Each structure stands twice: as structure tokens, then as C-alpha cells.
């Protein structure tokens, strides 16, 4: 069971690193959607009770914030309206058990996922 958990953690870690690679050399096509979210982070992470999900938005838009456990089950979902510039979402652990979770910020044209650890 521990080996399966370790393999799952490694796969999610590799997926997160692959999503974080810089795309500065790309030329944007007018037909392709542009990135509107940046600087996504959780602080503190790991956390005990509450953490703040920080991000920057280049436009006013609806952002869906979800938290999933490692089995892919959605344990929290919230829709927020972002402003241009710095934004944050407060997340309380409530009755979630200790462990690793994946949080996602999703807009109409992009999805950003990262790890979140509850101690």
C-alpha cells in the first residue's frame, strides 16, 4: 500500500512539474486562447487550519477553485470572480484529514493544478 501511495505521489509530482515549464519561446496564434492566470501559489503550504491561494489575473473572469484528494474525488469547490491583478482565495481545511490534495484553478480557457498538503 505504501508503494502504491509513493508511486501516486511521484506521478502527481511529475505532472505538476510538467505544467510549470515556461512557455516563453512560444509565439501566440490569434486563434489560441491566451493565459490569463499566473503566479499561482498556496501559502502556507503545508498548513494546519487555513491557507491562502494566491494568483494574478489579467482580466475580470469567473474562476472555479476545486480541491481533490489523491483518488480524484472532489472534496471542495468554490466559484469566485477574479479582478485584474492580485487575487486570493481563503481555504479552510474543515473536516479534511491530513494528507496531500490537488487544487485546481479553472477558467474558460485554462486549468492550473498544484499540490496542497494538510499537516
11 in a domain, yes or no? no
pLDDT over threshold 90, residue 22: no
Average pLDDT on 46-66 reads 97
Would the pTM of this model clear 0.75, i.e. be above it?
no
Q: What's the domain range around 104?
A: 36-118
84 in a domain, yes or no? yes
11: left (phi over 0), alpha (psi -120 to 50) or beta: alpha
86-119 pLDDT, tens digit per residue, is: 999 999 999 999 999 999 999 999 999 999 999 9
CATH of the domain at 56: 2.60.40.1930
55 in a domain, yes or no? yes
Determine the Cα–Cα distance for residues 54 and 43; give it in Å rounded to an integer. 8
Domain count, the chain: 1
Count of CB atoms within 10 A of residue 103's CB?
Answer: 21
pLDDT for 17 equals 52
94 in a domain, yes or no? yes
78 in a domain, yes or no? yes
Amino acid at each position: 500500500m505504501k508503494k502504491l501511495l509513493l508511486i501516486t505521489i511521484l506521478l502527481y509530482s511529475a505532472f505538476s512539474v510538467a505544467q510549470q515549464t515556461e512557455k516563453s519561446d512560444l509565439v501566440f496564434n490569434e486563434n489560441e486562447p491566451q493565459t490569463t492566470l499566473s503566479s499561482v501559489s498556496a501559502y502556507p503550504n503545508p498548513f494546519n487550519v487555513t491557507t491562502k491561494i494566491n494568483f494574478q489575473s489579467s482580466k475580470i473572469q469567473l474562476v472555479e477553485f476545486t480541491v481533490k484528494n489523491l483518488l480524484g474525488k472532489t472534496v471542495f469547490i468554490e466559484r469566485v470572480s477574479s479582478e485584474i491583478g492580485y487575487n486570493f482565495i481563503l481555504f479552510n481545511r474543515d473536516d479534511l484529514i491530513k494528507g496531500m490534495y490537488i487544487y485546481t484553478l479553472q477558467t474558460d480557457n485554462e486549468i492550473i493544478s498544484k499540490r496542497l498538503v494538510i499537516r
